[in-house]
Structure 1
Amino acid sequence: MADTLRTFEDAYWNHWNQNEVFRHTQALAWLDASDGPVVDIGCGDGFFLAKLREKGIEAWGTDISSTAIKHCHEKGLDTQEGDFAGGYVPERNAKTATALDVLEHLYTPDPLLASLHSRVETLIISVPNFASLPARLQVLFGRVPENNTPRKGHVYWYTQSVLCRNLEKNGWRIVAWGLNPPWMDKPIVGTLMKGLAHVWPSLFSLSFVVKAERV
């Protein structure tokens, strides 16, 4: 598993750069200097680490991809390579962990969640919602949902209930939800979707960002 993921991620970070999206803004809104040190699991090219640094939050990162780590070092970011797919997290001080759009790339997220449970007090993660309305509509019309295509590298398909069970099983209690409704750029439809997401998040949120505390 680790070699397959490493090969995929190395190829990915050879041609991709991150831009700020919902998962970043929501996670940043929940964090301040008192939450540090923060370890960013699956830090990629260091985009989120740089945002934490701008906010004055002590942070370091780890990624399975040597290509990603190289990009981070070029930016002067504190990172090191590590096989988090097997649950490995470098033995360094951390109070909070973030794993933004990481767990869906792992065949078995449990080792990582269990490892973090013994290391940090707070966990912020994001995952795509494979049961969102757009995904269901794509299936209805005979298409493979965007988040299920091979180029995404997603192998663990999260829904709201799957996420809750996954975290609870590994000793985490969700204390806050961030919801990401579709079509928010549409004036009227976006307002409607925002309201529906709070009533029926399992259908009307494209992804979930959650803050969880160790039980």
Structure 2
Amino acid sequence: MKSHADIFLHVSHAFEGDLERRRNLYRSHLHYFTPDDTVVDIGCGDGIWLELLRDAGIRGVGVDQDPAKRSICKSKGLDVLDAANFDMIGNALTAFHLVEHLEPMQVIELLSNWRWNKILIITPNIEHPSVHGTFWKDISHVRPYPSCVLVEILKEVGMNSVEATTQADGWDVVVYGERSRK
């Protein structure tokens, strides 16, 4: 019999979407990072983004609580850590389809780490009419985060330059913030 945790992890990953489609969407965000960055990808899942970073010559470190997802990443030769043993490293943070799984104070704590000079967030676009019908299918979703809320949080945690857009025909919100070097 499966454990409650195993059932939860399976159901929470059941609607991730096509691998190649995600790869193509994520590829368009590589321009935010350089080989000088170390990108910490929180909730790295199966490592698609980490592979793209590696192929672009950018160091990426994945963090995930799911041992099956960490195992997939390790089998690809990717650097990945258990969320419970996560040591804040790197200067850039990416969180693709993660913040909607967190309470607001958890999001603020994650994003306010002084080490982050760059933050890239992708989350479902709750303002898209079709997202209303799909958002709660993922039982691990806690709440939606409209782009205006994420923009405001990034400004409050010290990102001087913040931009928001959509991708995937408007289904996703993409918010990027960068701390200007002084």
Shorter-chain TM-score: what band? 0.7 to 0.9
Aligned residue type for 1:50: E
Which residue among 76, 87, 90 is the counterpart of 1:90?
A: 87
1:118 aligns with 2:105: no
When the two chains are superposed, the root-mean-square deviation of aligned CA atoms in Å is 3.0
Q: What TM-score results when the alignment is normalised by the length of structure 1? A: 0.67
Superposed displacement of residue 23, structure 1: 4.5
When Rg is computed on C-alpha atoms for both structures, the one with the higher figure is: 1
Summarize deviations over 1:129-156 as a string: whole Å, max 9, x none: 1121334xxxxxxxx611232x353212
SS state at 1:79 partner: strand
1:99 aligns with 2:109: no
Q: Report if the CA contact (8 A) 1:6-1:64 is conserved.
A: no
Superposed displacement of residue 81, structure 1: 0.4
Q: How many residues align?
A: 173
1:9 aligns with 2:9: yes
Pair 1:160–1:178, CA change in 2 (3 A): closer
1:158 aligns with 2:145: yes
Superposed displacement of residue 110, structure 1: 1.7
Pair 1:62–1:213, CA change in 2 (3 A): same
1:33 match: 35
SS state at 1:90 partner: coil
Q: Report if the CA contact (8 A) 2:151-2:164 is conserved.
A: no
Q: Report if the CA contact (8 A) 2:41-2:95 is conserved.
A: yes
Unmatched 5+ stretches in structure 1: 136-143, 183-204
Unmatched 5+ stretches in structure 2: none
Q: Which runs of 4+ in 1 moved over 6 A?
A: 4-7, 14-17
Q: Percent identity?
A: 27
Q: Report if the CA contact (8 A) 2:126-2:144 is conserved.
A: yes
Superposed displacement of residue 72, structure 1: 0.9
Superposed displacement of residue 105, structure 1: 0.9
Summarize deviations over 1:132-187 as a string: whole Å, max 9, x none: 1334xxxxxxxx611232x35321212122222332333334433332263xxxxx
Q: Report if the CA contact (8 A) 1:13-1:67 is conserved.
A: no
1:189 match: none
Q: What TM-score results when the alignment is normalised by the length of structure 2? A: 0.78
Q: Report if the CA contact (8 A) 2:12-2:140 is conserved.
A: no
Pair 1:14–1:156, CA change in 2 (3 A): closer
